[in-house]
Amino acid sequence: MSKQNFFKTLNLTPKCATLLTNKKYIKIYQLNNNLLESLSDLVFSIIKKSINDPKNAAHYDLLKSTTTLEEFTLKTYNIAQFFVYRDYDIFIKIEDILKDIYYDLNIIDSNIIKGMEFTANLKNVQSDIPEAYANNPYLTDKVHSDIWAGEPASIINVFLYLAGDIQNNFLEILYPKKEENLKFSPQNQLDDYLEATEMLDLFSILDYTKQKGVLIFFDSLLPHRTRRDATQKQTRLSMDLRLLVQDPYENIYNHWLRPYIPSGKYWAFNTQKQLTYTSKLENELKILDPICKQKRLEYCHLANPYTNNLTKGN
Ligand SMILES: [Fe+2]
């Protein structure tokens, strides 16, 4: 299944959202308010747990009385590092709401999604680049494709604005001026996020609506970057995750061979609601069992003892 089929199949008049931008390699929707609220409530419960996490003890007094996501984004603009507490069961509930949306968008019925990143990635992006992050080779403020950082070529980027200063702190997406220019989008040849300025003439900055509830699906070949305004004293809260149009167990990706495997990696897409993290894990291990018998055990990321300890021990 190709990424092009993914974009061809997307429902352009879903019930869950309104289509804002319709281009061959990118579709942008405005999510309905009730769905946005359900997702925001779950995200807020993760934020509350994170505020109470000892890892964020230094910020507890500042954040303890926070009652909304907007308030959180106002208070955290100069917090360099805020740890998101991985309450897997809440992330499962988020995933289940996203699945309802994907059903409505027709990409589940058409059997197009084969894998899905879990957990979704919550990002609280400051108006300044945090000092500790400035020299990171994968600084997302540089034009990049996630494929450069070792993600599989068959990913679809998914991005949802949730709260905060979205107007000044946003995802800039580049679109090819001519379709053939897309082939100049660097794919696997770069291993860090270079400025790639020689490529920029071939692309235009995509003009799109930036506000909460805006849900974006784009081909991972579209170059993009984080844009911020350091004069603003607020953060932007968003969620991103990646979908796979290929079976995540079809190929062995290098990042599965690392001794420490983060939970935020690709899982086989399960069309059923999952209810709890334990049932999700059991389902995945069932899928992996015959595969692991055929291939070397360490190739299967969830069968990796490091990952099992990590996930079961939270
Ligand atoms: Fe990216």
- What mean pLDDT comes out for the span 125-154? 81
Domain count, the chain: 1
Question: Please, are residues 224 and 218 in contact by the beta-carbon 8 Å criterion?
Answer: yes
The alpha carbon of 140 and the centre of ligand 1 are apart by a number of angstroms equal to 6
Question: Please, are residues 111 and 82 in contact by the beta-carbon 8 Å criterion?
Answer: no
The alpha carbon of 59 and the centre of ligand 1 are apart by a number of angstroms equal to 28
The alpha carbon of 147 and the centre of ligand 1 are apart by a number of angstroms equal to 8
3-class DSSP assignment, residue 8: helix
Q: Angle of helix 277-294 relative to helix 88-104, nearest 10 degrees?
A: 80
H or E stretch including 170? strand 170-176
Question: Please, are residues 270 and 244 in contact by the beta-carbon 8 Å criterion?
Answer: no
Residues, beta carbon < 5 Å, ion ligand 1: 146
Question: Which residues on neighbouring strands pair with residue 224, listed in sequence order?
Answer: 144, 173
- Structure-model confidence comparison of residues 304 and 119, the more confident one: 119
3-class DSSP assignment, residue 160: strand
The alpha carbon of 76 and the centre of ligand 1 are apart by a number of angstroms equal to 22
Average model confidence (pLDDT) across the chain: 84
The alpha carbon of 158 and the centre of ligand 1 are apart by a number of angstroms equal to 10
The alpha carbon of 123 and the centre of ligand 1 are apart by a number of angstroms equal to 12
Q: Looking at the domain assignment, is residue 311 inside a domain?
A: no
Q: pTM surpassing 0.85?
A: yes
Reported as half-sphere exposure (CB side, CA atoms, 13 A), residue 27 has a value of 22
CA nearest neighbour of 144 among 185, 90, 102, 203: 185
- Structure-model confidence comparison of residues 17 and 276, the more confident one: 17
Provide the pLDDT confidence category of residue 127 given band limits of 50, 70 and 90: confident
- Structure-model confidence comparison of residues 262 and 121, the more confident one: 121
The alpha carbon of 272 and the centre of ligand 1 are apart by a number of angstroms equal to 28
pLDDT digits (tens, 9 = 90+) for 169-208: 999 999 999 988 887 665 544 555 555 666 778 899 999 9
Q: Looking at the domain assignment, is residue 95 inside a domain?
A: yes
The alpha carbon of 192 and the centre of ligand 1 are apart by a number of angstroms equal to 12
**How would you list the strands of the sheet with 170-176, edge to edge?**
203-205, 170-176, 224-227
Question: Which residues on neighbouring strands pair with residue 176, listed in sequence order?
Answer: 203
Report phi then psi at 40, rounded to 5.
Answer: -65, -40
Question: Please, are residues 24 and 221 in contact by the beta-carbon 8 Å criterion?
Answer: no
Torsion of CA 82, 83, 85, 86, to 10 degrees: 130
Above 50 in pLDDT, residue 4? Answer: yes
The alpha carbon of 240 and the centre of ligand 1 are apart by a number of angstroms equal to 9
Maximum distance among all Cα pairs of the chain, rounded to whole angstroms: 56
The alpha carbon of 149 and the centre of ligand 1 are apart by a number of angstroms equal to 9
Q: Which domain holds residue 212?
A: 3-246
Q: Looking at the domain assignment, is residue 283 inside a domain?
A: no
Q: Looking at the domain assignment, is residue 301 inside a domain?
A: no
Q: Looking at the domain assignment, is residue 217 inside a domain?
A: yes
The alpha carbon of 187 and the centre of ligand 1 are apart by a number of angstroms equal to 13
The alpha carbon of 94 and the centre of ligand 1 are apart by a number of angstroms equal to 21
The pLDDT assigned to 152 comes to 82
* Alpha carbon distance, N-terminus to C-terminus of the chain: 34
The alpha carbon of 5 and the centre of ligand 1 are apart by a number of angstroms equal to 22
Question: Which residues on neighbouring strands pair with residue 204, listed in sequence order?
Answer: 175
Q: Give the domain CATH number at 165.
A: 2.60.120
Question: Please, are residues 92 and 274 in contact by the beta-carbon 8 Å criterion?
Answer: yes
Task: Dump the DSSP string for 197-237.
Answer: HHHHTTEEEPP---STTEEEEEETTS-EEEE--TT----EE
The alpha carbon of 293 and the centre of ligand 1 are apart by a number of angstroms equal to 35
Provide the pLDDT confidence category of residue 36 given band limits of 50, 70 and 90: very high
Q: Looking at the domain assignment, is residue 295 inside a domain?
A: no
Question: Please, are residues 57 and 240 in contact by the beta-carbon 8 Å criterion?
Answer: no
H or E stretch including 101? helix 88-104
The alpha carbon of 96 and the centre of ligand 1 are apart by a number of angstroms equal to 24
Report phi then psi at 75, rounded to 5.
Answer: -85, -20
The alpha carbon of 170 and the centre of ligand 1 are apart by a number of angstroms equal to 12
The alpha carbon of 266 and the centre of ligand 1 are apart by a number of angstroms equal to 16
The alpha carbon of 8 and the centre of ligand 1 are apart by a number of angstroms equal to 22
The alpha carbon of 118 and the centre of ligand 1 are apart by a number of angstroms equal to 16
- What mean pLDDT comes out for the span 257-273? 71
Q: What percent of the chain has pLDDT over 70?
A: 83
Question: Please, are residues 243 and 156 in contact by the beta-carbon 8 Å criterion?
Answer: yes
The alpha carbon of 95 and the centre of ligand 1 are apart by a number of angstroms equal to 20
Q: Looking at the domain assignment, is residue 56 inside a domain?
A: yes
Provide the pLDDT confidence category of residue 311 given band limits of 50, 70 and 90: very low
The alpha carbon of 224 and the centre of ligand 1 are apart by a number of angstroms equal to 6
The pLDDT assigned to 256 comes to 56
Provide the pLDDT confidence category of residue 313 given band limits of 50, 70 and 90: very low
The alpha carbon of 242 and the centre of ligand 1 are apart by a number of angstroms equal to 10
Q: Looking at the domain assignment, is residue 259 inside a domain?
A: no
